[in-house]
Amino acid sequence: MIGRRYTKMFLLAGVVLLTAFSCFLVLATQAAQPATYKENPKAKNLVVNGDFEKGKDSPEGWQQVDGLTTFYIDDPDKKRGKILKVDTDILQSQGYDWWVKISKGAKPKDAPKKLATTEPKYDTLAGNDGVWIWSDFIPVEKGKKYWFTFDYKGKPDVMAWLVGYTKKESTAFGADANAFQEYLKEKTTGKPDNRGRLFESFINKYKWRGQLNSRSATDAGDGWRHFRRANQPFIPTKPYGDVKFVRVLILPFWPPGEAFIDNVRLTEYEEK
Ligand SMILES: [Ca+2]
């Protein structure tokens, strides 16, 4: 009898201890949740023309728009001035053919009319390369931490990176797109060769890359989302101290559709 009573007491004590421990765990987890980094809207934007306000037929400081997959437009809602529009619902073959002409100096205003695309649309840019948007080269300093954000609206999912280089490489249209370069060289008329998907299809001239998680966004109003990391800055020179420049790469892809981009910002990370 006595043994059974002790067992009961031990059990009870165990339950009490466990409950206390779980309470402690819950509290500890809550305490361990990092505060979200507070952005300073007045911090200097290191991205040249990150709000896209400067430019004629294409925004300064960015890859040439092509008038078929990328467009330099006035915000239809009249709130954001100039913005970029992207259409990933374009046949890959049509995109490549037009990109060849763009890379040889054709103007976006002379772009062909978009051809009809049909379900399941695996032959569109959305289903293959995505549509890449590259900024020009931005100098970064050794050991410094940076904060990278942009605003985005649209159906296609988007991925974005800071890509680090030891020196300035070509900013020619599509210079980094492997399959496109092959296409350009061989002037083939068949279906472009696919060398890997999305980032894996880029030519490996970079030394470092840091991704902005495509799930990490906050509501920016009017259907726009503000993409950002919760709290972790980018350090382009870690682990490679010889990285001297970054480029911003924004890549809307699947599902096929229109997307809008504005306010791409890279600022120095302010320690709190
Ligand atoms: Ca703008």
Question: How many of the other CB atoms lie within 10 Å of CB of 230?
Answer: 12
DSSP letters for 2-21: HHHHHHHHHHHHHHHHHHHH
Rounded to the nearest integer, the mean pLDDT of the chain is: 88
187 CA distance to ligand 1 middle (Å): 36
53 CA distance to ligand 1 middle (Å): 5
Q: What angle do CA 80, 86, 90 make, to 5 degrees?
A: 160
Q: Which SS3 state, helix, strand or coil, does residue 86 take?
A: strand
Burial bucket for residue 169 (CB in 10 Å: 0-12, 13-18, 19+): middle
Rounded (to 5) percent helix, strand, coil in the chain: 20, 25, 50
In this prediction, residue 196 has a pLDDT band, given cuts at 50, 70 and 90, of low
130 CA distance to ligand 1 middle (Å): 23
Name the CA dihedral angle for 131, 137, 141, 145, rounded to a multiple of 10 degrees: -20
Residue with tokens 């904060």: 147
211 CA distance to ligand 1 middle (Å): 23
146 CA distance to ligand 1 middle (Å): 21
Within 127-244, strands assigned E span 133-134, 138-139, 146-154, 158-165, 208-212, 217-221, 224-227
What's the pLDDT tens digit per position in 27-51?
454 444 456 899 999 999 999 999 9
Phi, then psi, of 201 in degrees rounded to 5? -90, 5
What's the pLDDT tens digit per position in 75-133?
999 999 999 999 999 999 999 999 999 999 999 999 999 999 999 999 999 999 999 99
DSSP H helices, 130-177, are: none
26 CA distance to ligand 1 middle (Å): 43
Please report the pLDDT score of residue 108 as a whole number: 97
How far apart CA 166 and CA 174 sit, in angstroms, is: 19
User: What is the mean pLDDT of the segment spanning 139-156?
Assistant: 97
User: What is the mean pLDDT of the segment spanning 165-175?
Assistant: 93
How far apart CA 111 and CA 272 sit, in angstroms, is: 48
73 CA distance to ligand 1 middle (Å): 9
DSSP letters for 154-166: ESS-EEEEEEEES
Please report the pLDDT score of residue 180 as a whole number: 86
* More confident call, 111 vs 203: 111
83 CA distance to ligand 1 middle (Å): 5
User: What is the mean pLDDT of the segment spanning 187-212?
Assistant: 74
42 CA distance to ligand 1 middle (Å): 16
Record the tokens describing residue 92, joined without a space: 């890959």
